[in-house]
């Protein structure tokens, strides 16, 4: 496995793979790899012949006062995990490689899709996400890129960008990977104390409770949201950023769930802002 830090070299590696007839899969990450990331790599390996993993803590998607400086970084450990899985190449550029002096071009998805949910509380976040993903897609030129369903809004935004700009790759969604307690895997889980980690399991339990209500016949989003809020509020230090029930594709609010909806939450648990979601669907009944 190679660890590459320059754009020219990663392009050479991918070009060589493609000239050999290989299908290229790409897993963009910010490092601090956990089982959720590893499941994306494994999905890419099943679908593709040559897999590139990027490890880059993207500064443009962090807002003022967010955790850019303390975001976990351990390239050596991440590389060992990738090598154990048989990743072909890691692309780990420096910030100066991705954003050289004079950089001032941005890719921004307009409309409500970037203004709701996390976009409402993290202004500018998705401009950073779409810009770095557009750059990475242009650099790596993958046939397919793999993202986790945990970041449901990011997934919807990236899909819209790729569709709107006719980018020649497919965006593949992979299921959420959870800890034994049900807590969704996240690099930010490491910010939690042991007690906070146990308490944070209430997030998924509350989502499952809303699903149980839905499958028993409740269709009003207000009632489903209230169920989630009451359960999360049982942890006195948990601070609710949002609890929303929306269309899975447009992310627009759904007041009555007719058939399918995304239930998405963002909760501050002590030092960590945690997001999670489930899909409500009559097909689950």
Q: What is the pLDDT of residues 54-65, one digit of tens each?
A: 999 999 999 999
Mean pLDDT of 248-271: 96
Region label for 180, one of left (φ > 0), alpha (ψ between -120 and 50) or beta (otherwise): alpha
Note the pLDDT of residue 285.
56
Active-site residue identified among 37, 125, 197, 273:
37
What's the chain's length in residues?
285
Note the pLDDT of residue 251.
97
Q: What is the rounded CA–CA span in Å between residue 96 and residue 83?
A: 26
Note the pLDDT of residue 42.
98
Provide the Cα torsion 184, 126, 252, 144; round to 10°.
-70
pTM of the predicted model as reported, rounded to 2 decimal places:
0.96
Longest alpha-carbon distance in the chain: 58
Mean pLDDT of 177-202: 97
Is the per-residue pLDDT at 284 higher than 90? no
- Exposed, middle or buried, 226 (CB in 10 Å: 0-12/13-18/19+)? middle
The answer to whether 238 touches 269, Cβ cutoff 8 Å, is: yes
Mean pLDDT of the chain: 97
- Where do the domains of the chain lie, and which CATH numbers do they carry? 2-174 (3.40.50.620), 187-278 (3.30.1300.10)
User: What tokens does 80 get?
Assistant: 């060992």
Q: What is the rounded CA–CA span in Å between residue 13 and residue 54?
A: 13
Is the per-residue pLDDT at 113 higher than 90? yes
The answer to whether 241 touches 203, Cβ cutoff 8 Å, is: no
Mean pLDDT of 70-91: 97
- Exposed, middle or buried, 146 (CB in 10 Å: 0-12/13-18/19+)? buried
Q: Where do runs of H (alpha helix) occur along the chain? A: 7-19, 35-47, 75-85, 95-98, 118-121, 125-140, 152-164, 194-199, 202-215, 221-232
User: What tokens does 174 get?
Assistant: 């992979």
Provide the Cα torsion 230, 250, 124, 202; round to 10°.
20
The answer to whether 130 touches 161, Cβ cutoff 8 Å, is: yes
Is the per-residue pLDDT at 47 higher than 70? yes
Concerning whether 34 is annotated as a catalytic residue, the answer is no
């Amino acid at each position: 496995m190679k660890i590459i830090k320059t754009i020219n070299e990663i392009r050479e590696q991918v070009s060589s793979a493609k000239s050999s007839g290989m299908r290229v899969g790409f897993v963009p990450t910010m490092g601090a790899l956990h089982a959720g990331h590893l499941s994306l790599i494994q999905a890419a390996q099943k679908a593709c012949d040559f897999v590139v993993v990027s490890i880059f803590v993207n500064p443009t998607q962090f807002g003022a006062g967010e955790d850019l400086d303390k975001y976990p970084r351990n390239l050596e450990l991440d590389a060992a995990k990738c090598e154990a899985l048989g990743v072909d190449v890691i692309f780990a550029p420096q910030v100066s490689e991705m954003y050289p002096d004079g950089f001032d071009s941005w890719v921004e998805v307009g409309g409500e899709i970037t203004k709701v949910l996390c976009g409402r509380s993290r202004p500018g976040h998705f401009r950073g996400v779409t810009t770095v993903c557009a750059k990475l897609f242009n650099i790596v030129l993958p046939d397919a890129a793999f993202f986790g369903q945990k970041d449901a809004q990011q997934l919807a935004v990236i899909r819209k960008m790729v569709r709107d700009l006719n980018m020649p790759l497919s965006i593949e969604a992979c299921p959420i990977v959870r800890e034994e307690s049900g807590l969704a895997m996240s690099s930010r889980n490491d910010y939690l104390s042991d007690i906070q980690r146990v308490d944070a399991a209430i997030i998924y339990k509350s989502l499952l409770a809303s699903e149980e209500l839905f499958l028993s016949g409740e269709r009003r989003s207000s009632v489903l949201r209230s169920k989630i809020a009451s359960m999360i509020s049982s942890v006195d230090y948990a601070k609710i950023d949002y609890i929303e029930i929306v269309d899975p594709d447009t992310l627009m609010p759904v007041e009555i769930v007719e058939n399918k909806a995304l239930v998405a939450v963002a909760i501050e648990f002590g030092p960590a802002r945690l997001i999670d979601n489930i899909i409500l669907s009559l097909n689950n009944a």
